[in-house]
A and B are shown apart, each in its own frame.
Chain A
Amino acid sequence: MLHANIKTGEEVIHMATPAEEELGESKWEVKVPEKKLKDKLFFENLKAVVIDTNLCSRCLTCVSICPSGLIVTDEDIVGFPDFEKNCFDCGACVRVCPRFIYEPPSGLGNYIEIVAAKSKRFKGQDGAMATELIASAIDMGMIDQGLFVDRNEKWETSIFHVRYPEQVGVGTLGGTKYVFAGILPALKEAIRFTKKGVGVVGTPCMISGIRKLQQEFPVFKEKVKLVVGLFCTENFHYNDLMKFLRDEKGIEIEKILKTNISKGSMYVTVAGAEKKRKIKMAEFEERGLVAKGCDFCTDFTAVQSDASVGSVGSEAGFSTIIVRNENAKEVMAFIREKGTAEFGEKVVMDEIDYLIKFKKKREEHIKELKLPE
């Protein structure tokens, strides 16, 4: 039941229309992954190998696929209360977890072009090109839904399903929230209702999760059409970060307009204050505030994405975009044709290389890790 995608020539699973299906008894086989801990439930395997070792990146791929719907992220940690009773032992979670069998991606990855650009219609963290890519993909009819990370006054994240480009220009949809977000569980919902396909923006760990989902399950391959990765060095747990900013730094969370990490410091723009608050990254590290899973992450540029967007490498107000495949190239061509973005002078590769190397060093942490046998 394979046929080729008209555009890419890639083989995709064909969703048979009922009439094409032979009637009578319907039978099929499903592969079950191998357990590392033989006589334990699959969730216990995941817990022992990924969660208890702090390897977990909190990408929430497992949450998105678990049929019980009971994997949760209370207190910022991925867990499954009462899993002994409620885990179906299907193994879907370990099939999709990018860190159960971890092949850490790193480097600059494949690319067609690397450019600096700035959206003319949207405002964002840097050049709002992450937003522009998704909005343009909607405009050109490649996707009919884009998933964005929104936030409330308390900087708690939620996922917003964008259907019209006009929806993204307003409010808090653009901009970086340095806390984890439930993009993947929302993606599972989105593929149920999309006709043309879904576009997502996420951190490199989430991109790895999406690729795993696509590799394992054809529905994701068919319906997730544009995957935009963000450059990423680290992320924070919501409760820890807010407590620190509020209690130790005396910042009223509700008044924060923007957070930005650059050159080894976090800059917090607070409403009413003249100057940005500068907090050295070392302060976060000393207190162990950086999410533990990031310690084992070597992927700065989201090498598995269709296009990656980040701030380093281009001047202030511009985003750096790494266009990796034909899919993303098509969207960039559309942006150029419509003139919705302004292109920058050039990209300083040294800055990107520096952070790639910086993250590559974390391979040491992975080597030191003791995984259960």
Chain B
Amino acid sequence: MKKVGTPEYNLQDKLKYHLSALSTAAKQVALPLNITTHYPRERRRWPDCFRGYILFDPERCISCFQCSFICPANAIWMKEAPSNRYYPTLDYGKCIFCHFCVDSCPGGALKPTKIHDVAYRTMEEMLTLTEEMVEPPEIIREDKVFVDYVIDTEDLSLKRTKGRDNLIVEIAPSQGVPMVSQCVDRASCIACKVCEKVCESGAVSSIKDEERLIVKMAIDAEKCTGCGLCVKECSMQILRLVRK
């Protein structure tokens, strides 16, 4: 067995190590090396995929209800607008910031932001109406510096830059997997034309042939955006989205 003994230092070594310790302490007093940011005076620069406050672009919404269906926290409630169209409202009292809604929106109408610090006075206020989702919320910003975490081979350090990070991200809306609607049980179609009525892209057509007593139904794959509205509304539940 080998015994580990106390290291033997001579006076010179002892002096050297003491001085080094003192200088480190002095350095930390003067220029502390911590890994926390001084929020709210400075802000960490989050990546564009940060899941924060959600903005809404009514121009891109096709009222497909996809977001409200997918929300696991039931935070999205579709509300009728004066135009008779339904648009999402978002209750931040319930939202768990999973951004499933953002990912599910076929039109890219829901947009992520890096805003994570909105304060509310009441629970009621947290129910954000459609019109309030269009513009970023009012937040008080005291930050004058943004911070990046830099990882070099050994150490994690903070890099501070003067200025303000833009919290609104400019990323192209998700394209998703291109899908197209198709009828999987044609013999069960009743030619109610609900699909044609709900399709926003004019992809479904129906032509009545009075003489032969038939209705010719067609889905134009070129025009179909794969939004899935017809699939949801088909009264016989015979339409499916398939990969384009």
Measuring CB to CB, which residues of chain A are less than 8 angstroms from any residue of chain B?
Answer: 13, 15-16, 18-19, 21, 23-34, 65, 67-68, 88, 90-92, 95, 192, 217-220
Q: Could you name 6 residue pairs across A and B whose Cβ atoms are closer than 8 Å?
A: A21-B184, A25-B219, A26-B181, A29-B186, A88-B194, A90-B193
For A192, give its contact among B185, B237, B244 (CB under 8 Å). Answer: B237
Cross-chain contact of A23 among B189, B193, B217, B244 (Cβ < 8 A)? B244
CB < 8 Å: which of B188, B213, B218 contacts A217?
A: B188
Q: Is B214's CB under 8 angstroms from A26's CB?
A: no
Contact yes or no, A30 B189, CB < 8 A: yes
Given contacts A18-B243, A192-B237, A28 and B221 within 8 Å (CB-CB) = no
Closest 8 CB pairs of A and B: A18-B242, A67-B235, A67-B192, A30-B191, A28-B186, A92-B190, A217-B188, A90-B192
**Contact at A28–B192, with CB atoms within 8 Å?**
no
Whether a CB of chain A sits under 8 angstroms from the CB of B15 is no
**B214 with A30: CB separation less than 8 A:** yes
With a CB–CB cut-off of 8 A, which chain B residues contact A217?
Answer: 187-188, 190, 236
Task: List 6 additional contacts besides A30-B186, A218-B188; criterion CB under 8 Å.
Answer: A15-B184, A23-B242, A30-B217, A32-B191, A90-B192, A91-B191
Task: Flag if B240 contacts A18 (CB, 8 Å).
Answer: yes
A84→B188 CA distance, assembly (Å)? 25
Give the docked Cα–Cα distance between A68 and B192 (Å).
9
The CA of A331 and the CA of B147, in the complex, are separated in Å by 72
The interface bits of chain B over 217-237 (1 if a CB of A lies within 8 angstroms of the residue's CB, else 0) are 111111000000000000111
Q: Give residues of chain B (111-170) contacting chain A, Cβ–Cβ below 8 Å.
A: none
Which chain A positions have C-beta within 8 A of B181? 26
The reply to whether B182 and A26 form a contact with Cβ atoms under 8 Å apart is yes
Residue of A nearest to B204 (CB): A26
Question: In the complex the two chains form, what is the Cα distance from A219 to B213 in whole Å?
Answer: 22
Count of interface residues, chain B, beta-carbon cutoff 8 Å: 34
Please give, as numbers and ranges, the residues of chain B lying within 8 Å of A32 by CB-CB distance: 191, 208, 213-215
Q: Is the CB of A29 within 8 A of B235?
A: no
Min CB gap B212→A, angstroms: 9
Expressed in whole angstroms, the Cα–Cα distance for A23 and B242 within the complex equals 9
Which residues on A sit within 8 Å (CB–CB) of B237? Answer: 192, 219
Does chain A have a CB within 8 A of B102?
no
Asked whether, in the complex, the Cβ of A28 is within 8 Å of the Cβ of B189, the reply is: yes
A18 partner, pick from B182, B187, B192, B217, beta carbons under 8 A: B182
Residues A25 and B242 in contact in the complex (CB < 8 Å), given A32-B191, A32-B208: no
**A219–B184 Cα gap in the complex (Å)?**
11
For residue A212, give the distance in angstroms from its CB to the closest CB of chain B: 13
Whether the pair B214, A29 counts as a contact (CB closer than 8 A) is: yes
A30 to B219, CA, bound (A): 14
Provide the residues of chain A in CB contact with B219, threshold 8 Å: 25-27
Q: Which residue of B lies closest to A220 (CB)?
A: B188
- Within B78-110, the residues touching A (CB, 8 Å) are none
Q: How far is the CB of B133 from chain A (nearest CB, A)?
A: 31
Q: How far is the CB of B99 from chain A (nearest CB, A)?
A: 27
A26 to B190, CA, bound (A): 16
In the complex, the answer to whether B194 meets A67 with C-beta atoms within 8 Å is yes
What are the residues of chain B within 8 A of A27 when measuring CB–CB? Answer: 216-219
Instruction: Check A65/B190 contact, CB under 8 A, given A26-B218, A27-B218, A28-B217.
Output: yes
A65 to B190, CA, bound (A): 9
CB–CB B180/A29 < 8 A: no
One of B194, B215, B243, B244 near A30 (C-beta < 8 A): B215
- Is the pair B220, A25 in contact by a Cβ cutoff of 8 Å? yes
Decide if A219 touches B191 in the complex (CB within 8 Å). no
Within the assembled complex, what's the spacing in Å between the Cα atoms of A95 and B192?
A: 13
Residues in B neighbouring A219, C-beta threshold 8 A: 185, 188, 236-238
B182 CB to nearest A CB, Å: 5
Name the residue of chain B whose CB is nearest to the CB of A23.
B221
Most-contacted residue by chain B among A18, A19, A95, A192 (CB, 10 A): A18
